[in-house]
């Protein structure tokens, strides 16, 4: 399980800063990275799950990492699907429909 290793300064590039969320990890990589597609705020269709898994496979293909879906809150990553209004309530921002976060958040 990866643990936060400290904060990250903003780069000044919105595309990069939007991915950072201010945290970096110092742990050695351990494969596979587990993820849990939570349905607390909205359910995932089969097509959405396949699209998300395809995106993860794209990362795996170029970064020499593996992802495994699990049905457990002890996974490395939690993935949520939320509406704009739910995102506004959760983060104060809207325009995103998925949240990918480390499980300790």
Instruction: Please write the tens of the pLDDT for every residue from 41-94.
Output: 778 888 988 998 999 999 889 888 889 999 988 888 888 777 777 777 777 766
**17 falls within a domain:** no
Band (3; pLDDT cuts 50, 70, 90) = low
**44 falls within a domain:** yes
Return the structure tokens found at 60: 């795996």
Q: What share of the chain is helix, strand, coil (3-state, %, to 5)?
A: 30, 25, 45
More confident residue, 40 or 51: 51
**25 falls within a domain:** no
**4 falls within a domain:** no
Question: 3-8: which pairs have CB atoms within 8 A and are 24 or more residues apart?
Answer: 3/27, 3/104, 4/102, 4/104
Domain that holds residue 50: 31-102
**14 falls within a domain:** no
**55 falls within a domain:** yes
**Cα–Cα dist 81/99, whole Å:** 7
Domain tally, the chain: 1
**95 falls within a domain:** yes
**89 falls within a domain:** yes
Look up residue 11 and give its DSSP letter. Answer: -
């Amino acid at each position: 399980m990866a643990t936060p290793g400290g904060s990250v300064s903003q780069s000044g590039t919105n595309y990069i800063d939007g991915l950072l969320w201010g945290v970096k990890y110092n742990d050695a990589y351990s494969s596979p990275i587990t993820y849990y597609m939570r349905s607390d705020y909205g359910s995932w269709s089969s097509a959405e799950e396949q699209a998300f898994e395809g995106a993860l496979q794209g990362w795996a293909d170029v970064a020499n990492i593996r992802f495994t879906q699990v049905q457990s809150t002890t996974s490395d990553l939690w993935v949520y699907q939320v509406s704009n209004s739910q995102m506004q309530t959760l983060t104060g921002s809207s325009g995103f429909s998925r949240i990918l976060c480390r499980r300790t958040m």
